[in-house]
Amino acid sequence: MTSVTSSPDQPETTGDKSAETAGKMSHREVVQALSGLMLGMFVTILASTIVSNALPRIIADLDGSQSVYTWIVTTELLAMTATVPLWGKMADLYSKKLLIQLSLGMFVVGSLIAGLAPDVGVLLVSRVVQGVGAGGMGSLALIVMAAMIPPRQLGRYSGLFGAVFGVATIAGPLIGGVLVDTSWLGWRWCFLIGVPFSLAAITLLQKTLHLPRTPRKPVSIDWLGAVLVTGGVCDLLIWSTLAGHRFAWASWQTATFVVGGLLLLTLAVYVESRAKEPIIPLSIFRNRTVSLAIVASVLVGLAMFGGTVFLSQYFQISLGKSPTVAGLMSLPLIAGVLVSSTVAGQLITRYGRWKAYLVTGAVVMTGGMLLLSTIDAHTGVPTLSLFMAVLGIGVGMLMQNLVLAAQNDVPAQELGATTSSLTFFRTMGGAIGVSALGAVLANHVTSLLAERFGAPAATGGTAKVPDLATLPPQVLAVVRDVYGEATAGLFLVGAPIALLAVIAVLFIKEKPLHTLSGDERRAQEEAAAALH
């Protein structure tokens, strides 16, 4: 471990009052302070959704396979997952404003590399850089919100972020589809378009985000623990991606990956338990609310990301839609998330009760997964839209409120570590879901094609994503049926996982929401500690 000294956030002014003495911020001041955060979140969400409709075209242009399709998604999730705890820990020690700007800067670099990538290898490297930046932005935005805003008031502002999430997610597939379908632009602009927005967010953050001075104190970062946690998580995620494709699930390679990953994580737990400033404080797992919220977050990430990331591929291959139309077809899902997260946030702020939205959201999400497990190549758009809206409504009520429940039940000094831990485990669940279910999809598609045509060679039927324009009509019909059946299978696998999330949130105990912001609570806690 290396001992360092935290650098304080610069004292800045908000109106006529200094940040140190401002006390509670007015609604206008909070919205102004959050503007840069919302633009940063918009950029990172847009980048992840804008590429969804471009992936089939990217894979076709770069001659990739179904496993590469999965890796383009997984590498960003993996990098995001592995670095989130470190971002969260640094947020407790250093300038949150500077860290957010740094994360956006890394995101710009990753986007530029992706937009200019000559092959799949370079593209995958760029996705890692993007993932590191996006992990910082996603984790730090929630931490800054908790520092400025009392939990009782977080609902109304979470609604604003829900609106940003909805707009970015709706705009992403639509913009991506238009870019891909425009011959003089193409899929590379799906990455490059985020660069000016990221630079604008960095500038806006500098002007609008005003945080109180952080006391100067000697601190240390557990770099060994960070390396062990990152190594263990990456090992298991790489295994879940390769297993079933490069080697059998039950094989010596699987044993090597699993044993190695578990050994690294065991060593990480040992190191973290003795570290002065652990990356993930083990004490937070003694908190029942936090532990159950983490379990639910893993399950939500696994079920939701593992299924929905392949919907765009289903729209284009199974239903034969263009990238632009595929973007439009995602609107019901996003509308469900937007409406439910905004309405739930407002109601929580008004009445102060939150558990009912967790339970309802988990139940509705499970129902949406079950409905989507019935789709095929002939499912009508109205029916499909209804099923997606149900899933979106459930997810919108659940995800953000899991963070709220955990933040409300920990000391203010642990807000950063708790928030980043929730983000970490949810993203890890998503990465595992994308990896494992992607392998399941590739194997299912390959076996179905072999079954329908008698041998894989008859259609080039490996896990390679087909170019529909080159297939004869009879083969095209079979390929569409195969991808429809295989995609429905992913949601059937995800449904019982979502059901486990229902059980987890049922055991979370509802507690009254704090009326003080994170910074106010921290000052109060430090004052109380000084008296003892």
Lowest mean pLDDT among 209-223, 337-351, 391-405, 513-527: 209-223
Q: How far apart are the first and last CA of the chain?
A: 29
Q: Which whole number is the average pLDDT over 113-121? A: 84
Please indicate, yes or no, if residue 80 is contained in any of the structural domains. Answer: yes
Please indicate, yes or no, if residue 287 is contained in any of the structural domains. Answer: yes
Average pLDDT, rounded, for the chain:
78
User: What confidence score (pLDDT) does residue 461 get?
Assistant: 38
Domain that holds residue 122: 26-212+277-530
Give the CA dihedral 257, 258, 260, 263, nearest 10 degrees. 170
Residue 171: closest CA among 382, 310, 331, 390: 331
The more confident residue out of 520 and 79 is: 79
Please indicate, yes or no, if residue 95 is contained in any of the structural domains. Answer: yes
Q: Give, to the nearest 10 degrees, the angle between helix 415-453 and helix 223-242.
A: 20
477-497 residue pLDDT tens: 888 888 888 889 888 888 898
CB atoms within 10 A of CB 528: 9
Which residues make Cβ contacts (< 8 Å) with residue 528, sequence separation at least 6? none
Most confident region among 170-184, 294-308, 381-395, 415-429 by mean pLDDT: 381-395
Instruction: Say if CB 62 and CB 99 are below 8 A apart.
Output: no
User: What confidence score (pLDDT) does residue 390 get?
Assistant: 93
Residue 81: closest CA among 285, 245, 237, 201: 237
Instruction: Say if CB 221 and CB 19 are below 8 A apart.
Output: no
Q: What angle do CA 290, 137, 231 make, to 5 degrees?
A: 65
What are the residues facing 530 on neighbouring strands?
none
Please indicate, yes or no, if residue 384 is contained in any of the structural domains. Answer: yes
**Considering the chain, what percentage of its residues have pLDDT values greater than 90?**
11
Please indicate, yes or no, if residue 499 is contained in any of the structural domains. Answer: yes
Q: Which segments within 17-88 are labelled E, that is strand?
A: 17-18
Q: How far apart are CA 152 and CA 234, in angstroms?
A: 37
User: What confidence score (pLDDT) does residue 385 get?
Assistant: 93
CB atoms within 10 A of CB 221: 21
Residue with tokens 């704090």: 514
The more confident residue out of 189 and 14 is: 189
User: What confidence score (pLDDT) does residue 155 get?
Assistant: 65
Lowest mean pLDDT among 89-98, 189-198, 260-269, 511-520: 511-520
Residue type for 221, please? I
CB atoms within 10 A of CB 166: 22
Instruction: Say if CB 413 and CB 284 are below 8 A apart.
Output: no
Residue 408, H or E segment: none
228-274 residue pLDDT tens: 887 887 787 778 767 766 777 788 888 999 999 899 989 988 888 88
Is the pLDDT at 372 greater than 90, yes or no?
yes
Q: How far apart are CA 132 and CA 84, in angstroms?
A: 8
Instruction: Say if CB 166 and CB 334 are below 8 A apart.
Output: yes
If one counts the domains in the chain, the total is 1
How would residue 219 be classed by pLDDT, with cut points 50, 70 and 90? low
Residue 311: closest CA among 180, 77, 448, 487: 487
Residue type for 517, please? S
Residue with tokens 């290396």: 2
Instruction: Say if CB 338 and CB 162 are below 8 A apart.
Output: yes
Q: Which segments within 130-221 are labelled E, that is strand?
A: 218-221
Task: Indicate which CATH number applies to the domain containing 419.
Answer: 1.20.1250.20
Burial 303-319 (b: 16+ CB within 10 A, else e): bbbbbbbbbbbbbbbbb
297-320 residue pLDDT tens: 888 877 766 666 788 788 888 888
420-475 residue pLDDT tens: 778 778 777 777 777 777 777 877 888 888 887 765 444 433 455 666 667 788 88
What is the full DSSP assignment across 266-315? HHHHHHHHH-SS-SS-GGGGGSHHHHHHHHHHHHHHHHHHHHHTTHHHII
Sign of CA dihedral 27, 29, 32, 37: negative
Is the pLDDT at 335 greater than 60, yes or no?
yes
Please indicate, yes or no, if residue 254 is contained in any of the structural domains. Answer: no
Lowest mean pLDDT among 64-73, 304-313, 390-399, 511-520: 64-73
CB atoms within 10 A of CB 531: 5
DSSP-based three-state secondary structure for 521: helix
Please indicate, yes or no, if residue 442 is contained in any of the structural domains. Answer: yes
The more confident residue out of 517 and 186 is: 186
Tell me the two tokens of residue 311.
Answer: 């919907």
Whole-number CA gyration radius for the chain: 23
Q: Which whole number is the average pLDDT over 130-148? A: 81
Q: Which segments within 73-113 are labelled E, that is strand?
A: none
User: What confidence score (pLDDT) does residue 191 get?
Assistant: 87
10 Å CB burial of residue 32 (0-12, 13-18, 19+) is middle
16-64 residue pLDDT tens: 343 333 345 666 777 777 888 888 888 887 777 677 667 778 877 777 6
The torsion angles phi and psi of 327, rounded to 5 degrees, stand at: -65, -45
Is the pLDDT at 82 greater than 50, yes or no?
yes
CA 150 remoteness from chain centre? 24
What is the full DSSP assignment across 354-368? -HHHHHHHHHHHHHH
How would residue 364 be classed by pLDDT, with cut points 50, 70 and 90? very high
Which residues make Cβ contacts (< 8 Å) with residue 386, sequence separation at least 6? 332, 371
Q: How far apart are CA 229 and CA 341, in angstroms?
A: 32
Please indicate, yes or no, if residue 222 is contained in any of the structural domains. Answer: no
Sign of CA dihedral 313, 314, 320, 322: negative
10 Å CB burial of residue 457 (0-12, 13-18, 19+) is exposed
User: What confidence score (pLDDT) does residue 360 get?
Assistant: 94
User: What confidence score (pLDDT) does residue 260 get?
Assistant: 92
Which residues make Cβ contacts (< 8 Å) with residue 225, sequence separation at least 6? 268, 271, 272, 275, 278, 279, 280
Is the pLDDT at 368 greater than 50, yes or no?
yes
